[in-house]
Amino acid sequence: METTERKKVMLSGIQPSGDLHIGNYLGAIRNWGARSDDYDCYYFMADMHTITVRQNPAELRRRTLAQLAQYIACGLDPARNTLFIQSHVPAHAELGWVLNCYTMFGELSRMTQFKDKSQKNADNINGGLFTYPALMAADILLYQPDYVPVGEDQKQHVELTRDVAVRFNHVYGEVFKVPEPYIPKVGARVMMLSEPERKMSKSDPNGCVFLMEKPEDILRKFKRAVTDSETGRCVYYDPQRKPGVSNLMDIYAAVTGKNYEDIEREFEGRGYGVFKPAVGEAVVEYFRPIREEAARILADKAYLQSVYRAGAEKAAAIAARTLRKVYKKVGFVER
């Protein structure tokens, strides 16, 4: 039966600054598709965010389209999810400017991602890198979402978005819906295989597993994963004392649906020499159909174009509504 009630809205994005890795998948994408029946869903390629760090233009274009193909292959059906490229919807930049004027210098200075990235790119600490969270707030608030499904590391940005929305509403009345971050129980912070104390990111390709990687490369990375030297070499969950093993257990749990106790029982009395390749095999099998489907979709450029064009059209219509309201509230003359 048709209902006139507004469906709840979900929105999220990923920067096409590198190829998608299993951290992006387990922390974010996996939770996106699960809700497409009950929610109005918007997922985008955050290409405007990537130029806060210098990019190779041809590579950025390639990765943006590859990311869209992978979104679809991960189960985001374009008929039930609005999939679009951020730079195709000008309202992001427009609201981004307005929100810059409602986001405080002190708040931006406290952002972990800014501190990390300015350390890594000391020769290019540009204004965009600093005001990035105001653009991200615009990405979110334009669509009035209820939930923003992200990994643990983006929680701080979603919280800042909430603060900015509350501040704006306080001055102008209820303009923005104040969104909630939606963070998974397992997989919210996947760690490097090479350095389990650090969050998985593309910065070290040996510790990071990409969705489109060849099975033999995935297996090799898991076989070399750093664990610990505990005698007996037991597989049990203890993120403080056994970060490497616990990270592998998290990954294994996420792709097999098994819980920690099942996993501990499965590998009881067996060494890491059995455990590590088993996790690798499970990951290879889990991502095999996604990898094959993404390669097939990516070959069909006309299809991809039809998806991102339709996505941009739908997104732009919704975004324009919010932007118009904001412009009116702050006192801009209507055209």
Q: Which of 99, 136, 235, 249 binds ligand TYM (CB under 6 A)?
A: 136
Q: What is the pattern of x (binds ligand TYM, CB under 6 A) and - over residues 187-226?
A: -xxx--------xxx-------------------------
8 A C-beta contact, residue 304 and residue 68: yes
* CA 211 – CA 205 distance, rounded (Å): 12
258 has catalytic annotation: no
Q: How far is the CB of 140 from ligand TYM (least distance, A)?
A: 5
Residue range at the interface with ligand TYM (CB under 6 A); choices 54-62, 94-102, 122-130, 147-155: 147-155
The interface with ligand TYM within residues 41-80 (CB under 6 A) comprises 46, 49
Residue range at the interface with ligand TYM (CB under 6 A); choices 143-151, 163-171, 299-307, 327-335: 143-151
- The residue from 155, 177, 199, 223 that is catalytic is 199
Please give the full DSSP string across 169-219, using - where no structure is assigned: HHHHSS-S---EEE--SSSSSPBPSS-TTSB--TTSTTT--BTT--HHHHH
Q: How far is the CB of 308 from ligand TYM (least distance, A)?
A: 17
C-alpha angle 318/319/324, rounded to 5°? 105
Nearest to 253 by CA among 286, 219, 290, 298: 286
Q: Which of 99, 150, 307, 316 binds ligand TYM (CB under 6 A)?
A: 150
Pairing verdict, β 81-85 and 180-182: unpaired
**Hey, is 78 helix, strand or coil?**
coil
8 A C-beta contact, residue 56 and residue 106: no
Residue range at the interface with ligand TYM (CB under 6 A); choices 21-29, 258-266, 291-299, 305-313: 21-29
Nearest to 251 by CA among 310, 313, 207, 308: 207
Q: Which of 63, 157, 162, 221 binds ligand TYM (CB under 6 A)?
A: 157
Query: Which residue, 151 or 267, has its beta carbon nearer to ligand TYM?
Result: 151
117 has catalytic annotation: yes
202 has catalytic annotation: yes
**15 lies in the binding site for ligand TYM (CB under 6 A):** yes
**164 lies in the binding site for ligand TYM (CB under 6 A):** no
**251 lies in the binding site for ligand TYM (CB under 6 A):** no
Please give the full DSSP string across 23-76, using - where no structure is assigned: HHIIIIIHHHHTTTTTEEEEEEE-HHHHTTS---HHHHHHHHHHHHHHHHHTT-
Binding residues for ligand TYM, total number by CB under 6 A:
26
Residues 6+ apart with CB under 8 A from 163: 107
Half-sphere exposure of 215 (CA within 13 A, CB side): 13
Q: Which of 66, 76, 134, 148 binds ligand TYM (CB under 6 A)?
A: 148
- Which residues contact ligand TYM (rule: CB under 6 A)? 12-15, 23-24, 26-28, 46, 49, 136, 139-140, 148, 150-151, 153-154, 157, 188-190, 199-201
The catalytic site residues sit at 117, 199, 202
